Amino acid sequence: MSREDDRRESSEDASGDAVSRADDGPAEIVDSVSGTGIPVRGNDIDTDQIIPARFMKVVTFDGLGEFAFFDQRFDSEDNEKEHPFNEGQYQGANVLVVNSNFGCGSSREHAPQALQRWGIDAIVGESFAEIFAGNCLALGIPTVTASTEEIGALQAYVEENPDTEISVDVDRELVTYGSGDEETAINGDVAAAQHKALVEGVWDTTALMKANANAVRETADSLPYMQSDD
């Protein structure tokens, strides 16, 4: 079992059904995510920080989780730096909490792939680069936005209470954390197209193609430049 599998298993064990999925749509329905959080502070964190370009020379995305935020986590001699992804209290977390313009820079799909393989199932932040959010959607990772004040409060709460569970209700666009008198609810925002794709299970283009295989075949057969296998 790989380290990322270990992390995924740990995350799911810690939070039970960490990601609510069903098979009613062409793809799995993702209407909620729950688990512990990990705050990564800073605006304009670009995709090169999330996954340095030299780690993009891979045949598959397997193993990319090891290299998430690599240059922020390790120096040139591979000694650990201070970074939330290195801290023990956040190992097994699956809800990433970030600030504004997260995922800016290049359009590399390796960035959300690396985060997912590290163990991230949902991201809550002030704002996201559009292409990055689209690449997250292609993996079934919700990107939920909230105000600067709400995100700052959530990051501070997670830093003080790393074991607290965060619930990301994609369908109701609601993020809740804490308990008792400290329970807090954030009315977040999920882009309309992302909301529809996740709660209706139509975010996975490969699954959509398979679900509409006959229509795809009919269209292909009608194209003069396509050769039939028959």
Whether pLDDT at 228 is above 50: yes
User: 12 pLDDT band (50/70/90 cuts)?
Assistant: very low
Q: In Å, what is the CA distance from 187 to each residue of 67, 171, 230?
A: 33, 12, 54
How is domain 32-222 classified at the CATH fold level?
Answer: Aconitase; domain 4 (3.20.19)
Give the pLDDT mean for 55-80.
Answer: 91
CB 34 within 8 A of CB 17: yes
Q: Which of 10-24, 33-47, 128-142, 206-220 has the lowest mean pLDDT?
A: 10-24
User: 110 pLDDT band (50/70/90 cuts)?
Assistant: very high
Is pTM beyond 0.85 here?
no
Give the pLDDT mean for 91-95.
Answer: 98
Check residue 217 and give its pLDDT.
80
- Kindly list the domain boundaries of the chain, sorted by start residue: 32-222
For tokens 């270990």, what's the residue? Answer: 6
Give the pLDDT mean for 64-93.
Answer: 96
